[in-house]
Chains A and B, each alone.
Chain A
Amino acid sequence: MDIQGQEVTTLTQLTSSDSEEVHGWHESVVRTSNQKTESSTEPVPDVSVGTHFLPSETAEEIPVRLEGVYRETIREWWYGQVVKIHAEKGYFEANLKDQKGIEIVAEFDIDPEFKDLVFYGAQFVFYVTTKHGRGSPQTMSQLEFTTPHVWRKHDDEHAEEIYKELFPDDAPL
C-alpha cells in the first residue's frame, strides 16, 4: 500500500465492539488523500510497497510494516458516520466511535477529493497514526470512506435474499 495515500487499499470486514451495527465494509475502500501530517522535520520518501495491517478490536498500538526504513503505528481509530452536511460552508458533521465506546462529535472539511463520498449516513474510518523512521516521529490522520454502491441488476436478487433472511415471516418480494 502506498503510504502517501494515492492508491486504493484493501480492507477486509472490519470488526468492532459493535460489529453487529457495522455493515458493508466492502473490500475496496477509497483512501482519501487528505492525509495530514504533523511535526514533519524532513520530507518523507515515497515508500510504494508495504503491508497494511488492519485496525482491530484492540485499542493497542498496531504496527503497520512497510518495506524499507519506515514503520507506521495506528494510535487510535474510529468508526465514523456522516450525520449532517453543510455543503455551502464546506464541512460535515460526523459521529465517531472508538473501540472503547467513547463517542465524539466532530466536524471535517469536505475535501474536493472525497466530496462525492460525503452523503447523509456515509460511513468511514478515521485513524491517527505515528510514523517512525528517519527524523522525529510524525503524527498523521486519515479518513477512509466506503465506496458508494452502484446498484446492479443482480443486486435485486441479493436484496430478495437479504429480505428473506431479515424478515422470514413476510411474504417474499
Chain B
Amino acid sequence: MSFFPEKVLFPPADNELEISVFGPGYGESVVLHVPGVGWGIVDSCVTKIGKAQLVPPLNYLLEMFPSISPSLAFVILTHPHEDHYRGLEEVLGKYPGGIQRVCRYDGDGIRELKVYLAQQRVGGNYVSRGLVNVFRAMNEAEKRGAKFRRLTEMTTVFELENIEIREFGATDIRMVALSPSARSCQKYVEMLLKAFAVVGKLTVPIDDEAHNLISVALLLKIGDIQIILGSDVESGAEENTGWKAIILNRDCPSLWASIVKVSHHGSQNGFNPSAWEKHCEKKRPVAIISPFWQGNTVLPKKEDLDNLKQVSSKVGITANVKLEKNLYKYYPREVVRGLLNSARSARVVEPARGIGFIRVRSLLNGQITEFRAESPALWC
C-alpha cells in the first residue's frame, strides 16, 4: 500500500542534493540525499494514517525504491527525545538496504541516562520502551557492520575530498556536528545524576526539555551548498551551551547556509539572532520548520514565524497542528459534559490527513530544482 502520491516518488538525479523534512506535529525526521555519499536519515518520527502507523522516512524510501533499496550512508539520532527517536528502531531494524554508519549524540551521559531510565521504571514513572529499543537497535546495527560514532562539537560524520560530481566537477563533502559542547554534556550528566533515586525520596522524572542540552546540530557542506540541521538546539542558557557555544567555538566553520532546518521547532528558545546573522552571511537561507505540540504548547507561535520570515528567503512548515475545540465531533454529549466538568479546557488533537513534508532539491552550484510542500505541509 502506498502512502505517498506517485508524483513525489521519483528519485533525485545522482548529482542532485535532496533534503526532505517530515514533521507530523509531534516528531521530526530529515531525509538527505548527498551526491557522492548517498542517502541518510537524521532522527525519526511516526504518524498514523487511518489505522496504519507509519514511519515517514522509512516509508518514503521504501516507496521510492520498491525493488532495490540503496544502502543508507548514515543514520543519526540527535538527542533522546521521543519526538526525535520514535520509529528509529524500525529504520535501524527493518531498512532492507543496509546501513553504513550509525551516529548518536555524545555518549558521556548514556550510562547515566540508562540508570535513570531503569530507576524510573522501578518508580513506576513513564519510561518509553522506544528509546531502550533504539539503543538496542543501534547495537544490533553495529554488530551487522555499521560504523558507530558518537557526536559532539566538531565531530565529523563523514568527510570526502575531491569527489567528482557529474556536471559540477570536484568537490569536498563534509558533514560535521556543531554541538553539544563539552559544558552542555557536563551539565546534562550533572542533571541526570541529580535525578538519581535516593532512599527515602520520591522518584520524580526530569523535565523532558532537559534533553535539548545535548542536541546535535549538523552542518553539511557540498559544492556551493551548505545545510544546517538545527535539531532541538536552544539559544543557550549560558555562554557555553546551545547556539551560544557553537558561535563561540573557535573551530566552528562558517555558519552561512543555503537551507536551515530550524532548531527547536521554530520556537523563541531556539532562535539565536547571532547565529541567524551568520546563516544569512551569503544570502538569506530557506528555512524549514517541523511544528510541535505538547499540552497547550504549540510551536512555532505566530511571532516566532514572523521572526523567521525576516531572516529567510522562504519558510516552509511540515504540518499544521490543529487543536479542535468541538469535542462533540468525537464524544457523546454526556462524555463531553463529564470531561468539561473537571477540565478547565480540553481540545482534541486533529490527526494528520496525510504525510506532509517539505522537499528541496538542488544542484551543487546552488540552483534549486524543486521546492515542494506536500500537504499538509505548506510554504508560509
Contact with A along B107-142 (1 / 0, CB 8 A): 000010011011101111111111010011001000
The complex places the Cα of A77 from the Cα of B309 at a distance, in Å, of 42
Whether a CB of chain A sits under 8 angstroms from the CB of B67 is no
B294 contact from A95, A123, A173, Cβ within 8 A: A95
Whether the Cβ atoms of A162 and B118 lie closer than 8 Å is: yes
Question: Which residues on the A side are within 8 Å of B334 (C-beta)?
Answer: 75, 128, 130, 139
A123 contact from B125, B201, B202, B338, Cβ within 8 A: B125
Whether the Cβ atoms of B293 and A105 lie closer than 8 Å is: yes
Whether the Cβ atoms of A24 and B201 lie closer than 8 Å is: no
Number of interface residues of B (CB under 8 A): 57
Question: Which residues on the B side are within 8 Å of A7 (C-beta)?
Answer: none
Contact with A along B327-357 (1 / 0, CB 8 A): 1001110110111011111111100000000
| Interface residue tally on A, bucketed by range | 35 or more
Contact with B along A151-170 (1 / 0, CB 8 A): 11101101110110011011
Instruction: State how many angstroms separate the Cβ of B183 from the closest Cβ of chain A.
Output: 24
The complex places the Cα of A23 from the Cα of B21 at a distance, in Å, of 32
Whether the Cβ atoms of A95 and B204 lie closer than 8 Å is: no
Interface centre among A126, A141, A143 (most CB of B within 10 A): A141
Whether the Cβ atoms of B346 and A104 lie closer than 8 Å is: yes
Whether a CB of chain A sits under 8 angstroms from the CB of B198 is yes
The complex places the Cα of A155 from the Cα of B203 at a distance, in Å, of 11
Question: Which residues on the A side are within 8 Å of B206 (C-beta)?
Answer: 120
Say which one of A47-55, A63-71, A106-114 lies at the interface with B. A106-114
Instruction: State how many angstroms separate the Cβ of A77 from the closest Cβ of chain B.
Output: 10
Whether the Cβ atoms of A140 and B125 lie closer than 8 Å is: no
Question: Which residues on the A side are within 8 Å of B297 (C-beta)?
Answer: 83-84, 93
Whether the Cβ atoms of A159 and B119 lie closer than 8 Å is: yes
Whether the Cβ atoms of B132 and A120 lie closer than 8 Å is: no
B342 contact from A24, A81, A108, Cβ within 8 A: A108
Whether a CB of chain A sits under 8 angstroms from the CB of B323 is yes
Known A23-B127, A153-B199: A148·B341 in contact at CB below 8 Å: no
Known A104-B349, A139-B334: A151·B48 in contact at CB below 8 Å: no
A23 contact from B48, B111, B126, Cβ within 8 A: B126
Question: Which residues on the A side are within 8 Å of B115 (C-beta)?
Answer: 159, 163, 173
Whether a CB of chain A sits under 8 angstroms from the CB of B208 is yes
Whether a CB of chain A sits under 8 angstroms from the CB of B2 is no
Whether the Cβ atoms of A166 and B124 lie closer than 8 Å is: no
The complex places the Cα of A94 from the Cα of B296 at a distance, in Å, of 8
Whether a CB of chain B sits under 8 angstroms from the CB of A46 is no
Instruction: State how many angstroms separate the Cβ of A78 from the closest Cβ of chain B.
Output: 9
Whether a CB of chain B sits under 8 angstroms from the CB of A115 is no
The complex places the Cα of A149 from the Cα of B197 at a distance, in Å, of 10
Whether the Cβ atoms of B339 and A128 lie closer than 8 Å is: yes
- Which residues 1-46 in A have Cβ within 8 Å of B in the complex? 20-26, 34, 36-38
Instruction: State how many angstroms separate the Cβ of A18 from the closest Cβ of chain B.
Output: 10
The complex places the Cα of A129 from the Cα of B200 at a distance, in Å, of 37
Whether the Cβ atoms of B132 and A167 lie closer than 8 Å is: yes
The complex places the Cα of A23 from the Cα of B348 at a distance, in Å, of 24
Whether a CB of chain B sits under 8 angstroms from the CB of A101 is yes
A20 contact from B123, B129, B200, B346, Cβ within 8 A: B129
Whether the Cβ atoms of A38 and B338 lie closer than 8 Å is: yes
Whether the Cβ atoms of A75 and B345 lie closer than 8 Å is: no
The complex places the Cα of A155 from the Cα of B120 at a distance, in Å, of 11
Known A129-B338, A166-B117, A173-B115: A151·B346 in contact at CB below 8 Å: no
Known A103-B349, A149-B124: A38·B337 in contact at CB below 8 Å: yes
Nearest CB in chain A to that of B128: its residue? A21
Known A107-B343, A128-B338, A139-B334: A163·B114 in contact at CB below 8 Å: yes
Question: Which residues on the A side are within 8 Å of B293 (C-beta)?
Answer: 105
Interface centre among A22, A128, A170 (most CB of B within 10 A): A128
Nearest CB in chain B to that of A82: its residue? B295
Instruction: State how many angstroms separate the Cβ of B240 from the closest Cβ of chain A.
Output: 26
12 additional contacts (CB under 8 A) given A159-B197, A167-B136: A25-B124, A26-B124, A36-B342, A91-B344, A103-B348, A104-B348, A105-B295, A120-B206, A151-B200, A159-B118, A166-B117, A167-B132
A sample of 17 inter-chain contacts (CB < 8 A) reads: A23-B121, A75-B332, A93-B297, A102-B330, A105-B323, A105-B346, A107-B346, A108-B343, A120-B206, A121-B126, A123-B124, A123-B125, A139-B334, A146-B124, A148-B204, A149-B202, A151-B197
Q: Which 3 pairs across A and B sit closest by C-beta, in order of nearness?
A: A24-B124, A128-B338, A93-B295
